[in-house]
Amino acid sequence: MLTNLLQRRRSVSISLARYLLVSGILTTALIGEVGHTLEIASPYTVEVHLDPEDQDAEKNAYVTALTEALIRITGSNIAANTETASILFANPIRYVLQQKFGVNNTLIVTLDGPAIEQTLRAANVSVWSLDRPLTIIWLAVDRGLGNREIVSAEDSGYGFDGAIVQNNLLRERLHSVATRYGVPIIFPLLDIEDLGNIGFIDIWGGFDASLLNASSRYKTSSVLVGRIKIDDPEPSRWTWYIGEDRIDWTGEPEQAIEELAKGLALRDAGRSQYGDQLFELVISGVNSVDAYGQVQSYLENIGGIQSVKVKMVVSNQITYLVEFLGGSERLKKSLASSGFLLAENANHPTNFPNSESSEMLQINALFYRYVH
């Protein structure tokens, strides 16, 4: 039965599950969910340095704390340091709820998040949702003289001699900036499965299709690919994939994370503006695990899909619940371009229970047949 085969396919390797749990990432076990998202904890609690020789150290600490909080909730260093921000938040102490002294001349400041967000929205400044997509980073480093590595997760021993230490430092640089901007990131395990599918040349040579396929095991909808050549005057190259979009830029690792944060925040602002639509997608003719895998992989990589969950499996027919950012015509166009999904009959609305109330939501049902 297809149902039994699907259950076997959904199993996650113990090593990967342990890695995601340790990283604080494996927070749900929903079948067919597109990409993990993490809720950023305590964005309005900031630890800042106090200069013992500065008479205005406490006042300046409030300014710094507010600036750091604005960076986290807007995804932009520019937004936090513009003249507009200084006008909107002319008196930072008004937003301080509590404070306490930390170790090594630091002050831990907790700010009034709702008041800050209200001020920003009143000025038409977008506030980045705290539920943010997880990004996996595939980073290749060429140190010359044939010394080439892929930066791996903390618990991986991939690398040679001192390169492991250097790669750890590089990884920590990226983690530091990502923490500042509130961007959840991970690096690949580079275990037997990864290394069986991915090599240095795949990253360096731009064979990113392999990376996107390899990223699926980490359940990330956002993939950042970096290529760094040490002691090269040319800037490092970066490619970001999310949905159907590909964005390229050059710059230092810190700049790459900043660009990633801005990009994610802008996508979130668009989602807030246009909202998501819920669809019931019924696909028949799915007679094998390979067919299921092809359908599932395609759905997970359609731009605009926020989540896709298996609602029901009956014989060779799978019913999905799809949350999509955009209209039905755009979704139908994406499904038609697959080459193996054929629209069957006219779409019609169906009722779906609203988990937040006793009302029934009316959603569109789309019917397709898998063809070989």
**How many distinct structural domains can be found in the chain?**
3
Give the end of a domain, one of 232, 252, 273.
Answer: 273
- Quote the strand ranges of the chain, DSSP E: 37-39, 45-49, 96-101, 106-111, 131-133, 135-142, 148-151, 185-186, 222-229, 237-242, 245-250, 277-284, 305-314, 317-324, 341-343, 348-353, 360-370
% of the chain exceeding 70 in pLDDT: 78
192 and 99 both lie in a single domain = no
Helix axes 2-9, 289-300, angle to 10 degrees: 50
β-bridge pairing 148-151 and 131-133: unpaired
205 and 321 both lie in a single domain = no
Number of helices followed by number of strands (H, E) in the chain = 13, 17
220 and 322 both lie in a single domain = no
Across the range 330-343, mean pLDDT stands at: 84
Across the range 182-189, mean pLDDT stands at: 94
147 and 91 both lie in a single domain = no
Which stretch of 49-53, 202-206, 302-306 has the lowest confidence by average pLDDT? 302-306
251 and 152 both lie in a single domain = yes
Confidence grade of residue 8 (pLDDT, cut at 50, 70, 90) = very low
166 and 227 both lie in a single domain = yes
Give the end of a domain, one of 219, 239, 273.
Answer: 273
145 and 231 both lie in a single domain = yes
Range of the domain at 106: 45-122
313 and 219 both lie in a single domain = no
Q: Is residue 14 part of a domain?
A: no
Radius of gyration of the chain (CA): 23
Quick one: which of 149, 118, 138, 304 has its CA closest to 211? Answer: 138
154 and 231 both lie in a single domain = yes
pLDDT of residue 9: 38
100 and 143 both lie in a single domain = no
Give the end of a domain, one of 76, 104, 122.
Answer: 122
Q: What kind and span of H or E run contains 350?
A: strand 348-353
| Contacts with 361 (C-beta within 8 Å, 6 or more apart), sequence order | 278, 351, 352, 353, 354
Residue with tokens 């609602």: 311
Q: Give the model confidence (pLDDT) of 52-105 as tens digits.
A: 899 999 999 999 999 999 999 999 876 666 777 888 999 999 999 999 999 999
Quick one: which of 83, 85, 91, 49 has its CA closest to 67? Answer: 85
User: The domain spanning residue 311 has which CATH number?
Assistant: 3.30.70.100
Q: Is residue 315 part of a domain?
A: yes
53 and 177 both lie in a single domain = no
Q: Is residue 24 part of a domain?
A: no
| AA letter at 17 | A
pLDDT of residue 103: 92
How many CA atoms within 13 Å lie on the side-chain side of 263?
Answer: 21
Helix axes 57-74, 113-122, angle to 10 degrees: 60
User: The domain spanning residue 246 has which CATH number?
Assistant: 3.40.50
Three-class SS state of 280: strand
Residue 372 has pLDDT above 70, yes or no: yes
CA 65 from centre of chain: 25
116 and 246 both lie in a single domain = no
Residue 122 has pLDDT above 80, yes or no: yes
